[in-house]
Copies of this chain bind each other. A is one copy, B any other.
Amino acid sequence: WSKLRETAIGAGRKLRKIGTDDPRRILHSLKVGLALTLISIFYYVKPLFHGLGASTMWAVLTVVVVMEYTVGGTLSKGLNRAFATLLAGALGLGAHQLAALCGDKGEPILLSVFVFLLAAMATFSRFVPEIKARYDYGVTIFILTFSLVAVSGYRVDQLLQLAHQRLSTIAIGVATCLATSIFVFPVWAGEDLHDLVALNLEKLANYLEGLGKEHFGEKMETKKMVDLTFLQSYKSVLNSKSIEDALANFARWEPGHGGFGYRHPWKHYLKIGALIRQCACSIEALNAYISIAENDQMTVTDEEFLQRIRADCAAMSSESGKALAELAAGIRQMECPLAAVQHMSRAAAAAGGVKTAAPAEDASMPEVLRSATTASL
Protein backbone atom coordinates (compact mmCIF):
# COMPACT_ATOMS: atom_id res chain seq x y z
CA TRP A 1 0.00 0.00 0.00
CA SER A 2 2.83 2.37 0.87
CA LYS A 3 4.50 1.31 -2.38
CA LEU A 4 1.41 2.35 -4.28
CA ARG A 5 1.49 5.72 -2.54
CA GLU A 6 5.14 6.14 -3.44
CA THR A 7 4.55 5.50 -7.12
CA ALA A 8 1.62 7.90 -7.04
CA ILE A 9 3.81 10.58 -5.49
CA GLY A 10 6.53 9.88 -8.03
CA ALA A 11 4.06 10.18 -10.89
CA GLY A 12 2.70 13.40 -9.43
CA ARG A 13 6.18 14.87 -9.19
CA LYS A 14 6.87 13.87 -12.77
CA LEU A 15 3.68 15.49 -14.01
CA ARG A 16 4.46 18.67 -12.10
CA LYS A 17 7.92 18.74 -13.61
CA ILE A 18 6.44 18.47 -17.12
CA GLY A 19 4.14 21.33 -16.27
CA THR A 20 6.74 23.60 -14.73
CA ASP A 21 9.28 22.91 -17.48
CA ASP A 22 6.98 24.60 -19.93
CA PRO A 23 3.81 26.16 -18.44
CA ARG A 24 2.41 26.57 -21.96
CA ARG A 25 1.68 22.85 -21.85
CA ILE A 26 -0.87 23.36 -19.10
CA LEU A 27 -2.35 26.28 -21.02
CA HIS A 28 -2.57 24.11 -24.12
CA SER A 29 -4.45 21.41 -22.22
CA LEU A 30 -6.92 23.98 -20.94
CA LYS A 31 -7.29 25.38 -24.46
CA VAL A 32 -8.22 21.98 -25.86
CA GLY A 33 -10.78 21.60 -23.10
CA LEU A 34 -12.10 25.08 -23.86
CA ALA A 35 -12.43 24.48 -27.61
CA LEU A 36 -14.25 21.20 -27.02
CA THR A 37 -16.59 22.71 -24.48
CA LEU A 38 -17.34 25.63 -26.81
CA ILE A 39 -18.22 23.35 -29.68
CA SER A 40 -20.34 21.07 -27.53
CA ILE A 41 -22.25 23.98 -26.02
CA PHE A 42 -22.71 25.32 -29.53
CA TYR A 43 -24.37 22.07 -30.51
CA TYR A 44 -26.09 21.38 -27.23
CA VAL A 45 -28.29 24.38 -27.82
CA LYS A 46 -30.53 22.29 -30.04
CA PRO A 47 -33.24 24.69 -31.13
CA LEU A 48 -30.69 26.86 -32.91
CA PHE A 49 -29.09 24.24 -35.10
CA HIS A 50 -31.67 21.57 -35.47
CA GLY A 51 -30.87 21.23 -39.15
CA LEU A 52 -27.37 19.92 -38.58
CA GLY A 53 -28.46 16.97 -36.43
CA ALA A 54 -26.02 14.07 -36.60
CA SER A 55 -23.33 16.32 -38.01
CA THR A 56 -22.63 17.49 -34.45
CA MET A 57 -20.34 14.56 -34.30
CA TRP A 58 -18.20 15.85 -37.15
CA ALA A 59 -17.62 19.17 -35.46
CA VAL A 60 -16.46 17.44 -32.27
CA LEU A 61 -14.29 15.06 -34.28
CA THR A 62 -12.72 17.97 -36.15
CA VAL A 63 -11.87 19.81 -32.96
CA VAL A 64 -10.32 16.78 -31.30
CA VAL A 65 -8.20 15.86 -34.30
CA VAL A 66 -7.21 19.29 -35.60
CA MET A 67 -6.24 20.98 -32.34
CA GLU A 68 -2.43 20.96 -32.16
CA TYR A 69 0.12 22.42 -29.79
CA THR A 70 1.36 25.14 -32.15
CA VAL A 71 -0.63 27.59 -34.27
CA GLY A 72 1.13 26.35 -37.39
CA GLY A 73 0.20 22.75 -36.61
CA THR A 74 -3.46 23.64 -36.12
CA LEU A 75 -3.55 25.70 -39.31
CA SER A 76 -1.85 23.04 -41.38
CA LYS A 77 -4.17 20.28 -40.14
CA GLY A 78 -7.27 22.42 -40.44
CA LEU A 79 -6.55 23.50 -44.01
CA ASN A 80 -5.54 19.99 -44.97
CA ARG A 81 -8.78 18.65 -43.58
CA ALA A 82 -10.98 21.26 -45.22
CA PHE A 83 -9.45 21.04 -48.71
CA ALA A 84 -9.10 17.26 -48.69
CA THR A 85 -12.76 16.90 -47.74
CA LEU A 86 -13.82 19.30 -50.49
CA LEU A 87 -11.73 17.61 -53.17
CA ALA A 88 -12.61 14.05 -52.16
CA GLY A 89 -16.29 14.95 -51.87
CA ALA A 90 -16.34 16.36 -55.40
CA LEU A 91 -14.51 13.33 -56.79
CA GLY A 92 -16.84 11.01 -54.90
CA LEU A 93 -19.88 12.69 -56.41
CA GLY A 94 -18.32 12.36 -59.87
CA ALA A 95 -17.66 8.68 -59.28
CA HIS A 96 -21.28 8.21 -58.21
CA GLN A 97 -22.59 9.90 -61.36
CA LEU A 98 -20.31 7.76 -63.51
CA ALA A 99 -21.24 4.54 -61.72
CA ALA A 100 -24.97 5.32 -61.98
CA LEU A 101 -24.66 5.11 -65.77
CA CYS A 102 -23.73 1.45 -65.54
CA GLY A 103 -27.04 0.25 -64.17
CA ASP A 104 -27.89 -1.50 -60.92
CA LYS A 105 -25.54 -4.45 -61.38
CA GLY A 106 -22.46 -2.55 -62.48
CA GLU A 107 -22.71 0.26 -59.94
CA PRO A 108 -21.32 -1.43 -56.82
CA ILE A 109 -18.58 -3.15 -58.81
CA LEU A 110 -17.44 0.06 -60.47
CA LEU A 111 -17.53 1.94 -57.16
CA SER A 112 -15.42 -0.75 -55.49
CA VAL A 113 -12.89 -0.51 -58.32
CA PHE A 114 -12.77 3.27 -57.88
CA VAL A 115 -12.24 2.98 -54.14
CA PHE A 116 -9.50 0.43 -54.62
CA LEU A 117 -7.66 2.51 -57.23
CA LEU A 118 -7.89 5.82 -55.42
CA ALA A 119 -6.96 4.38 -52.03
CA ALA A 120 -3.93 2.60 -53.50
CA MET A 121 -2.75 5.67 -55.42
CA ALA A 122 -3.25 8.05 -52.51
CA THR A 123 -1.46 5.69 -50.11
CA PHE A 124 1.45 5.42 -52.49
CA SER A 125 1.68 9.20 -52.74
CA ARG A 126 2.30 9.28 -48.98
CA PHE A 127 5.70 7.72 -49.56
CA VAL A 128 6.82 10.84 -51.45
CA PRO A 129 8.84 12.75 -48.82
CA GLU A 130 7.42 16.19 -49.72
CA ILE A 131 3.82 14.99 -49.50
CA LYS A 132 4.56 13.02 -46.34
CA ALA A 133 5.96 16.12 -44.65
CA ARG A 134 3.18 18.54 -45.50
CA TYR A 135 0.03 16.81 -46.68
CA ASP A 136 0.07 13.47 -44.88
CA TYR A 137 -3.05 14.25 -42.90
CA GLY A 138 -4.81 15.64 -45.95
CA VAL A 139 -4.22 12.43 -47.90
CA THR A 140 -5.69 10.36 -45.06
CA ILE A 141 -8.79 12.53 -45.00
CA PHE A 142 -8.99 12.37 -48.79
CA ILE A 143 -9.08 8.57 -48.78
CA LEU A 144 -11.56 8.57 -45.91
CA THR A 145 -14.01 11.02 -47.42
CA PHE A 146 -13.89 9.48 -50.89
CA SER A 147 -14.55 6.00 -49.50
CA LEU A 148 -17.38 7.25 -47.32
CA VAL A 149 -19.06 9.06 -50.20
CA ALA A 150 -18.58 6.14 -52.58
CA VAL A 151 -19.78 3.50 -50.12
CA SER A 152 -22.66 5.48 -48.64
CA GLY A 153 -25.15 4.34 -51.28
CA TYR A 154 -27.17 7.55 -51.13
CA ARG A 155 -28.67 9.21 -54.16
CA VAL A 156 -26.85 12.23 -55.57
CA ASP A 157 -29.26 14.89 -54.31
CA GLN A 158 -29.06 13.46 -50.79
CA LEU A 159 -25.29 13.48 -51.09
CA LEU A 160 -25.23 17.14 -52.02
CA GLN A 161 -27.20 18.04 -48.94
CA LEU A 162 -24.92 15.85 -46.81
CA ALA A 163 -21.82 17.43 -48.30
CA HIS A 164 -23.14 20.88 -47.52
CA GLN A 165 -23.75 19.90 -43.89
CA ARG A 166 -20.42 18.17 -43.54
CA LEU A 167 -18.43 21.08 -44.92
CA SER A 168 -20.19 23.62 -42.75
CA THR A 169 -19.56 21.57 -39.60
CA ILE A 170 -15.91 21.10 -40.47
CA ALA A 171 -15.59 24.82 -41.14
CA ILE A 172 -17.13 25.60 -37.75
CA GLY A 173 -14.82 23.10 -36.04
CA VAL A 174 -11.70 24.43 -37.74
CA ALA A 175 -12.71 28.03 -37.00
CA THR A 176 -13.17 27.20 -33.31
CA CYS A 177 -9.76 25.55 -33.16
CA LEU A 178 -8.05 28.42 -34.91
CA ALA A 179 -9.74 31.02 -32.76
CA THR A 180 -8.68 29.29 -29.53
CA SER A 181 -5.16 28.60 -30.68
CA ILE A 182 -4.49 32.07 -32.11
CA PHE A 183 -6.25 34.32 -29.62
CA VAL A 184 -5.79 32.42 -26.33
CA PHE A 185 -2.08 32.31 -25.41
CA PRO A 186 -0.83 31.38 -28.89
CA VAL A 187 2.17 29.06 -29.24
CA TRP A 188 3.97 29.90 -32.48
CA ALA A 189 6.01 27.15 -34.10
CA GLY A 190 8.26 29.78 -35.67
CA GLU A 191 9.09 31.33 -32.33
CA ASP A 192 9.80 27.90 -30.89
CA LEU A 193 12.11 27.09 -33.78
CA HIS A 194 13.91 30.40 -33.32
CA ASP A 195 14.39 29.75 -29.61
CA LEU A 196 15.43 26.15 -30.13
CA VAL A 197 18.20 27.10 -32.56
CA ALA A 198 19.48 29.83 -30.24
CA LEU A 199 19.27 27.48 -27.24
CA ASN A 200 21.24 24.79 -29.05
CA LEU A 201 23.96 27.29 -29.90
CA GLU A 202 24.05 28.35 -26.27
CA LYS A 203 24.42 24.76 -25.12
CA LEU A 204 27.47 24.35 -27.33
CA ALA A 205 28.84 27.66 -26.12
CA ASN A 206 28.36 26.56 -22.51
CA TYR A 207 30.19 23.36 -23.17
CA LEU A 208 33.15 25.07 -24.79
CA GLU A 209 33.43 27.76 -22.15
CA GLY A 210 33.11 25.14 -19.41
CA LEU A 211 35.76 23.07 -21.12
CA GLY A 212 38.09 26.05 -21.26
CA LYS A 213 37.56 26.77 -17.58
CA GLU A 214 37.45 23.34 -16.01
CA HIS A 215 39.51 21.05 -18.16
CA PHE A 216 42.27 23.29 -19.45
CA GLY A 217 42.13 25.65 -16.49
CA GLU A 218 44.16 25.72 -13.32
CA LYS A 219 42.39 22.93 -11.47
CA MET A 220 43.10 20.53 -14.27
CA GLU A 221 43.71 17.38 -12.28
CA THR A 222 41.15 17.83 -9.54
CA LYS A 223 37.94 16.93 -11.33
CA LYS A 224 36.98 14.41 -13.95
CA MET A 225 35.14 15.74 -16.98
CA VAL A 226 32.53 13.02 -16.79
CA ASP A 227 31.37 14.26 -13.39
CA LEU A 228 30.53 17.72 -14.66
CA THR A 229 26.91 17.24 -15.56
CA PHE A 230 26.43 20.76 -16.90
CA LEU A 231 28.79 19.85 -19.69
CA GLN A 232 26.49 17.06 -20.85
CA SER A 233 23.68 19.27 -22.05
CA TYR A 234 25.06 19.47 -25.58
CA LYS A 235 24.09 15.83 -26.14
CA SER A 236 20.47 16.74 -26.72
CA VAL A 237 21.60 18.92 -29.63
CA LEU A 238 22.62 15.84 -31.60
CA ASN A 239 19.08 14.53 -31.92
CA SER A 240 17.29 17.80 -32.57
CA LYS A 241 16.80 17.29 -36.30
CA SER A 242 13.33 15.77 -36.27
CA ILE A 243 11.97 18.46 -33.93
CA GLU A 244 13.48 21.23 -36.03
CA ASP A 245 12.07 19.79 -39.24
CA ALA A 246 8.59 19.53 -37.76
CA LEU A 247 8.69 23.06 -36.37
CA ALA A 248 9.97 24.56 -39.63
CA ASN A 249 7.21 22.72 -41.45
CA PHE A 250 4.53 24.18 -39.19
CA ALA A 251 6.13 27.63 -39.15
CA ARG A 252 5.65 27.83 -42.91
CA TRP A 253 1.87 27.85 -42.44
CA GLU A 254 1.84 30.60 -39.87
CA PRO A 255 0.88 34.21 -40.57
CA GLY A 256 3.26 36.97 -39.49
CA HIS A 257 3.63 37.33 -35.73
CA GLY A 258 6.00 39.13 -33.38
CA GLY A 259 9.20 39.94 -35.21
CA PHE A 260 8.60 37.40 -37.98
CA GLY A 261 6.99 38.17 -41.31
CA TYR A 262 4.79 35.75 -43.23
CA ARG A 263 7.58 34.59 -45.51
CA HIS A 264 10.32 34.50 -42.89
CA PRO A 265 13.23 32.42 -44.21
CA TRP A 266 12.59 29.37 -42.03
CA LYS A 267 14.85 27.24 -44.20
CA HIS A 268 17.88 29.16 -42.98
CA TYR A 269 17.14 27.93 -39.48
CA LEU A 270 17.35 24.37 -40.75
CA LYS A 271 20.73 25.10 -42.35
CA ILE A 272 22.06 26.63 -39.14
CA GLY A 273 20.59 23.70 -37.24
CA ALA A 274 22.48 21.25 -39.45
CA LEU A 275 25.73 23.14 -38.91
CA ILE A 276 25.10 23.20 -35.18
CA ARG A 277 24.65 19.45 -35.21
CA GLN A 278 27.87 19.04 -37.16
CA CYS A 279 29.61 21.17 -34.57
CA ALA A 280 28.03 19.14 -31.76
CA CYS A 281 29.41 16.06 -33.48
CA SER A 282 32.91 17.49 -33.31
CA ILE A 283 32.37 18.23 -29.65
CA GLU A 284 31.08 14.73 -29.06
CA ALA A 285 34.23 13.26 -30.62
CA LEU A 286 36.38 15.66 -28.64
CA ASN A 287 34.53 14.74 -25.45
CA ALA A 288 34.95 11.02 -26.07
CA TYR A 289 38.64 11.56 -26.67
CA ILE A 290 39.05 13.55 -23.49
CA SER A 291 37.25 11.01 -21.32
CA ILE A 292 39.35 8.18 -22.75
CA ALA A 293 42.51 10.20 -22.20
CA GLU A 294 41.44 10.71 -18.60
CA ASN A 295 40.95 7.01 -18.06
CA ASP A 296 44.38 6.37 -19.49
CA GLN A 297 45.79 8.60 -16.75
CA MET A 298 47.62 10.68 -19.34
CA THR A 299 50.08 7.99 -20.22
CA VAL A 300 50.35 8.89 -23.86
CA THR A 301 50.81 12.63 -23.90
CA ASP A 302 53.69 13.66 -21.72
CA GLU A 303 53.20 16.19 -18.95
CA GLU A 304 55.51 18.85 -20.31
CA PHE A 305 53.88 18.95 -23.72
CA LEU A 306 50.52 19.24 -22.02
CA GLN A 307 51.58 22.20 -19.94
CA ARG A 308 52.84 23.92 -23.04
CA ILE A 309 49.60 23.76 -25.01
CA ARG A 310 47.25 24.12 -22.06
CA ALA A 311 46.92 27.89 -22.07
CA ASP A 312 46.35 27.94 -25.80
CA CYS A 313 43.73 25.22 -25.59
CA ALA A 314 41.96 27.05 -22.81
CA ALA A 315 41.93 30.27 -24.81
CA MET A 316 40.77 28.48 -27.94
CA SER A 317 37.83 26.73 -26.38
CA SER A 318 36.67 29.61 -24.21
CA GLU A 319 36.99 32.12 -27.05
CA SER A 320 35.09 29.95 -29.52
CA GLY A 321 32.57 29.37 -26.76
CA LYS A 322 32.16 33.12 -26.39
CA ALA A 323 31.86 33.51 -30.15
CA LEU A 324 29.05 30.94 -30.18
CA ALA A 325 27.35 32.67 -27.26
CA GLU A 326 27.52 35.94 -29.22
CA LEU A 327 26.00 34.23 -32.22
CA ALA A 328 23.20 32.86 -30.06
CA ALA A 329 22.53 36.31 -28.66
CA GLY A 330 22.62 37.68 -32.19
CA ILE A 331 20.00 35.20 -33.29
CA ARG A 332 17.82 35.93 -30.29
CA GLN A 333 17.88 39.67 -30.96
CA MET A 334 17.99 39.25 -34.74
CA GLU A 335 21.09 41.37 -35.15
CA CYS A 336 24.34 40.75 -36.92
CA PRO A 337 26.75 39.66 -34.18
CA LEU A 338 29.85 41.79 -34.65
CA ALA A 339 31.52 40.87 -31.38
CA ALA A 340 31.57 37.23 -32.48
CA VAL A 341 34.05 37.94 -35.25
CA GLN A 342 36.44 39.42 -32.74
CA HIS A 343 36.21 36.43 -30.39
CA MET A 344 36.58 34.19 -33.38
CA SER A 345 39.82 35.76 -34.52
CA ARG A 346 41.20 35.42 -30.99
CA ALA A 347 40.16 31.78 -30.96
CA ALA A 348 41.79 31.25 -34.34
CA ALA A 349 45.01 32.78 -33.07
CA ALA A 350 44.97 30.45 -30.08
CA ALA A 351 44.15 27.54 -32.36
CA GLY A 352 47.16 28.44 -34.45
CA GLY A 353 49.28 28.13 -31.35
CA VAL A 354 47.92 24.67 -30.64
CA LYS A 355 48.10 23.54 -34.23
CA THR A 356 51.84 23.87 -34.32
CA ALA A 357 51.95 21.22 -31.66
CA ALA A 358 48.99 18.96 -32.36
CA PRO A 359 46.27 18.65 -34.98
CA ALA A 360 43.36 20.87 -33.97
CA GLU A 361 40.45 18.66 -33.19
CA ASP A 362 37.69 21.18 -33.45
CA ALA A 363 38.79 22.31 -36.86
CA SER A 364 35.24 22.39 -38.15
CA MET A 365 34.32 25.16 -35.72
CA PRO A 366 35.27 28.13 -37.94
CA GLU A 367 33.06 26.72 -40.67
CA VAL A 368 30.01 26.82 -38.43
CA LEU A 369 30.77 30.31 -37.30
CA ARG A 370 31.23 31.63 -40.79
CA SER A 371 28.01 30.13 -42.10
CA ALA A 372 26.00 31.25 -39.12
CA THR A 373 27.30 34.77 -39.50
CA THR A 374 26.56 34.95 -43.19
CA ALA A 375 23.04 33.83 -42.47
CA SER A 376 23.04 37.15 -40.61
CA LEU A 377 19.81 37.02 -38.68
A119 at the A/B interface (Cβ < 8 Å)?
yes
Q: Mark A352-364, 1 if CB is under 8 A from B, else 0.
A: 0001101111011
- Specify which chain B residues have a CB less than 8 angstroms from the CB of A358 in the assembled complex: 358-359
> Is there contact, CB below 8 Å, between B281 and A238?
yes
- Specify which chain B residues have a CB less than 8 angstroms from the CB of A367 in the assembled complex: 288, 292
> Is there contact, CB below 8 Å, between B285 and A64?
no
Q: Mark A164-183, 1 if CB is under 8 A from B, else 0.
A: 00000000000000000000
- Specify which chain B residues have a CB less than 8 angstroms from the CB of A364 in the assembled complex: 285, 288-289, 292
Given contacts A28-B123, A65-B140, A120-B32, A41 and B282 within 8 Å (CB-CB): no
> Is there contact, CB below 8 Å, between B64 and A144?
yes
> Is there contact, CB below 8 Å, between A116 and B285?
no
In the complex, chain A residues 272-309 whose Cβ is within 8 Å of any chain B Cβ: 277-278, 281-282, 284-286, 288-289, 292-293, 300-301
> Is there contact, CB below 8 Å, between A60 and B151?
yes
Chain A contact residues: helix, strand, loop or mixed: helix
Q: Mark A303-332, 1 if CB is under 8 A from B, else 0.
A: 000000000000000000000000000000
> Is there contact, CB below 8 Å, between B150 and A40?
yes
In the complex, chain A residues 109-142 whose Cβ is within 8 Å of any chain B Cβ: 111-112, 115-121, 123-124, 127-128, 140
**Distance from A206 Cβ to chain B, minimum over Cβ atoms (Å):** 19
- Specify which chain B residues have a CB less than 8 angstroms from the CB of A111 in the assembled complex: 40, 44
A33 at the A/B interface (Cβ < 8 Å)?
yes
> Is there contact, CB below 8 Å, between B359 and A40?
no
In the complex, chain A residues 1-48 whose Cβ is within 8 Å of any chain B Cβ: 14-15, 18-19, 25-26, 28-30, 32-34, 36-37, 40-41, 43-44, 46
Query: Oligomeric state, in number of copies?
Result: 2
**Distance from A274 Cβ to chain B, minimum over Cβ atoms (Å):** 10
Query: 11 A–B contact pairs at CB < 8 A?
Result: A28-B123, A32-B123, A36-B147, A37-B119, A44-B153, A238-B277, A282-B284, A288-B364, A289-B361, A289-B364, A358-B358
What residues make up the interface of A, taking CB atoms closer than 8 Å to B?
Answer: 14-15, 18-19, 25-26, 28-30, 32-34, 36-37, 40-41, 43-44, 46, 54, 56-57, 60-61, 64-65, 108, 111-112, 115-121, 123-124, 127-128, 140, 143-144, 147-148, 150-153, 238-239, 241-242, 277-278, 281-282, 284-286, 288-289, 292-293, 300-301, 355-356, 358-361, 363-364, 367
Given contacts A44-B111, A238-B281, 4 further A-B contacts (CB under 8 A): A33-B118, A44-B151, A61-B144, A300-B355
